[in-house]
Structure 1
Amino acid sequence: MDKRILAGIGIVALMAGVARAEVLEITGEFAAPNREASLLRSISVDRIAGQDGSALARAIEQALSGTHFDLMGGYTGRDNAEGSLTGGVTTGVDESNFKRKEKRCIEKDSADQKKCIRHAEVELRCRRRLVSVKADLRLVRNRDGRIVYSVTRPVTNDFSWCEGDKTDPEPVEDVIANLVRDLGNSVRADIAPTLSTYRIRVRESDKGMGKDQAKRFKDLVKLTKRDVRGACTGWAALAGEVPNNASITFDLGLCAEQAGNYEKAEQLYRAAQRAGAQEGGEGADRAIRLIAGREDAAIRARRR
C-alpha cells in the first residue's frame, strides 16, 4: 500500500515492537482521496510545462498504468478522454558551503591502522545541496470543463557531506528523477482507489471483565492465529455477557471489517471508542473510506 494512504487512514501496521501480537489480516479497496477525479474512466496526460515536464508526464502515466483509468495519448486522446491533465513543473538546485566541527581520529597506531590513539575536534569543509521539484497540476473533466483535481506539490532532497566522508552525493540527475517519480506516484495516490491487504492489531486488554470472562477472552485472542471465524463467534457470544466492553466491541469491529460489513464495523468502532478504545476512531475512519471505495467501485462498474 502506498505510504501516504497508510498515514492518511491511520492503519496500525505490524511493526517490530508488536511482531508477536495477534493481528487480523484484511483486504479492502479504499476510495481515492479525490473521489470525483477517480470516477473518470479515461485520462490524457497533456503538456506539462518546464524542463522536467516531459519526465513528469511519463512518471504520471507509469504510475496510473495498472489502475482503472484508460490512458490516452496524442490528439486522439485529448479529443476523446474524459479528463485531461495539464500543468507545469519547476526544478531547482541550490548548493552552499559551510563548516562543521567534528571529533575525528588524527593519529592511528603504527602497528594497527584500525586502532586510533588520538582524537581531536577538527573543522571540516562541507557542502549542502538542496534539490527541489514543484509541480502545479490540474485535471479537467472535458465534458463540462470542471476542474476535478488541482494540486501544488513540492518535493525536496536535502543532502550534506563533508571532506573525508565515505559516502559520495548521489548525482543530481538521479535525485531529480527520483523526485519526479515520487510526484507521479503522489498523483496516483490522490486520484486512484487503492486495493490493500493490511494487518490490524487485535485489542487484548481484558479490563472490565470477570476472571472467567477474561480467560475466555484471552483464549479467543490466541485463537485468531488459527481460526479467526471461531474467535469472532466467541467474541460475539462474550459480548452478550459483557456488553459495551471496549476490547470485545473493537475486536468485533475487526471481524466485521474483515467480513466486508463496513457499516457494521463503523458502528462497532464508534461504540468501542465511546467505551474507551481510542483506536476505535481510526477504525471508524477506515470503515468510512472502505464504504466510499465500495460505492465508487459500483459506480464505475455501472458505467462500463
Structure 2
Amino acid sequence: MNKRILGGVVLAALVAGIAHAEVLKITGEFAAPSREASLLRSLSIDRIGGQDGSALARAIEQGLSGTHFDLMGGYAGQGNAEGSLTGGITTGVDEQPFKRREKRCVEKDSADQKKCIREEEVELRCRRRIVSVKADLRIVRNRDGRIVYSATKPFSQESSWCEGKNDRPAPVEDVIADGVRNLGQAVREDIAPTISTYDIRVRESDKGMSKDQAKRFKDLVKLTKRDVRGACDGWEAMAGELPGNASLTFNRGLCAEQAGDYPRALQLYHDAQRAGAAEGGVGADRAMRLIAGREDAAIRERRR
C-alpha cells in the first residue's frame, strides 16, 4: 500500500498486526492527492531538464504504466494529450572527511587468538557522503493552460565509512538511479488513484456494557474470523440496546466501509470519535478519501 496516499490506512494496519487481533479486510479505491491532475485522461511527458532528466521521464512513464492515463510522447503527444508534464532535476554529492574514535584490540591471547587481552581507543579516518536528488515538476492542462500539479520532490541518502572496514556504500551512480526510480513512483502516488486491500482492527473494548452485553459483544468480535456479515448484523442489533456506544459505533463503521457504504461509514466514525473512540478520526479520514476516490472514478467513467 502506498505510504503517502494511505497514511491512515498504514497506521491502522500496523495496529492490526497485533497478535490474535480480529480484523476486517477491506478493499477500496483512494483518490489521488492531486485530484485535478488525476482527472486527466491523457498525459504527455515532455522535456525534463537536467543530466538525469531522461531517466526521470522514463521512471515516471514506468510508474504510470497500468494506471488510467493514456501516455503520449513526441510532437503528437504534445499536441493531443490533455496534460503535459515538464520540469527539471538536479543531483548533488557532498563528501566530507571526519574522524571517529573506537576501541580496537591491540593484543591477543597467544594461546587463543580469538581472545583479546588488551584494547586501546584508536582514531579512525572516515568519510561521510550525502547524495541528493531533487525534481521540480508540473503538469499543465492543455485546453486552458491551468497548472493542475506542481511539486518539488526531494530524495537523499547519507552514508559513512571508515578505514579498515569493509563497509563502503554503493556507487554514487547506483544511488542516483535508485533516487530517480523513487521520484517516478512518488509522482504516480500523487496523480493516480490507488486501489488497496487492507486490514483494520475491530474495537474490542466492552466499556459501558453490562456483563451479558459484553459477552455477546465479545462473541461477535470472535465471529468476525468466520462470518463477518453475521458479526456486523449482530453489532447492528446491539446498537438498539446501547445507542452511542463507542465500540459498537466504530465497528458498525467498519462494516459499512467494508460494504462500500462510505457516507454511512463516515457518519459512524464521526459518532464513534465523539463517543471516545480515537480510531474514529482515522476511520473518518479514510472514509473521506474513499468517497473522493469513488467520485473521481465516476467522473473518469463519464468522460470515456
What band does the TM-score fall into relative to the shorter chain? Answer: over 0.9
Report matched runs for 1:255-266 at 5 Å.
Answer: 255-266=255-266
Q: Is the 8 A contact 2:8 2:285 kept in 1?
A: no
Give the structure 1 partner of residue 279 of structure 2: 279
* CA offset digits 1:111-140 (Å, max 9, x no partner): 444433333322111100000011110000
Give the structure 1 partner of residue 64 of structure 2: 64
Give the structure 2 partner of residue 196 of structure 1: 196
Letter in structure 1 aligned against 2:303: R
| Alpha-carbon separation, structure 2, partners of 1:112 and 1:225 | 58
| Alpha-carbon separation, structure 2, partners of 1:298 and 1:222 | 37
CA displacement at 1:243 relative to structure 2: 1.1
Letter in structure 1 aligned against 2:254: L
CA displacement at 1:3 relative to structure 2: 1.8
| Alpha-carbon separation, structure 1, partners of 2:283 and 2:10 | 8
Q: Report which stretch shifted further, 80-89 or 3-12.
A: 3-12
Q: Report which stretch shifted further, 15-24 or 180-189.
A: 15-24
Q: Is the 8 A contact 1:11 1:200 kept in 2?
A: no
Instruction: Name the CA shift for 1:245/1:15 in 2 (closer, same or farther; >3 Å).
Output: closer
| Alpha-carbon separation, structure 1, partners of 2:114 and 2:241 | 68
Give the structure 2 partner of residue 144 of structure 1: 144
Instruction: Name the CA shift for 1:45/1:152 in 2 (closer, same or farther; >3 Å).
Output: same
Give the structure 1 partner of residue 3 of structure 2: 3
Q: Secondary structure at the match of 2:13?
A: coil
Instruction: Name the CA shift for 1:219/1:50 in 2 (closer, same or farther; >3 Å).
Output: same
| Alpha-carbon separation, structure 1, partners of 2:53 and 2:112 | 55
CA displacement at 1:100 relative to structure 2: 1.0
Letter in structure 2 aligned against 1:5: I
Q: Is the 8 A contact 1:10 1:282 kept in 2?
A: no
CA displacement at 1:74 relative to structure 2: 0.7
Give the structure 2 partner of residue 165 of structure 1: 165
Q: Secondary structure at the match of 2:187?
A: helix
CA displacement at 1:163 relative to structure 2: 1.8
CA displacement at 1:147 relative to structure 2: 0.4
| Alpha-carbon separation, structure 2, partners of 1:274 and 1:283 | 13
Report matched runs for 1:102-117 at 5 Å.
Answer: 102-117=102-117
The root-mean-square deviation of aligned C-alpha atoms, in Å, is 1.5
Letter in structure 2 aligned against 1:36: E
Q: Is the 8 A contact 1:217 1:235 kept in 2?
A: yes
* CA offset digits 1:86-127 (Å, max 9, x no partner): 000110001000001123333334444443333332211110
CA displacement at 1:9 relative to structure 2: 5.5
Aligned length: 304
* CA offset digits 1:174-212 (Å, max 9, x no partner): 100011111111100100000000111111111111111
Give the structure 1 partner of residue 84 of structure 2: 84
| Alpha-carbon separation, structure 2, partners of 1:16 and 1:243 | 26
Q: Secondary structure at the match of 1:143?
A: coil
1:218 aligns with 2:221: no
TM-score by length of 1: 0.96
Instruction: Name the CA shift for 1:241/1:208 in 2 (closer, same or farther; >3 Å).
Output: same
Runs of 5+ unmatched residues, structure 1: none
Q: Secondary structure at the match of 1:100?
A: strand
CA displacement at 1:2 relative to structure 2: 1.5
Give the structure 2 partner of residue 135 of structure 1: 135
Q: Is the 8 A contact 2:140 2:148 kept in 1?
A: yes
| Alpha-carbon separation, structure 2, partners of 1:258 and 1:50 | 46
| Alpha-carbon separation, structure 2, partners of 1:156 and 1:245 | 47
| Alpha-carbon separation, structure 1, partners of 2:16 and 2:200 | 14
Give the structure 1 partner of residue 30 of structure 2: 30
* CA offset digits 1:117-173 (Å, max 9, x no partner): 333322111100000011110000001110000011211011111123332211111
| Alpha-carbon separation, structure 1, partners of 2:210 and 2:50 | 67
Q: Secondary structure at the match of 1:196?
A: strand
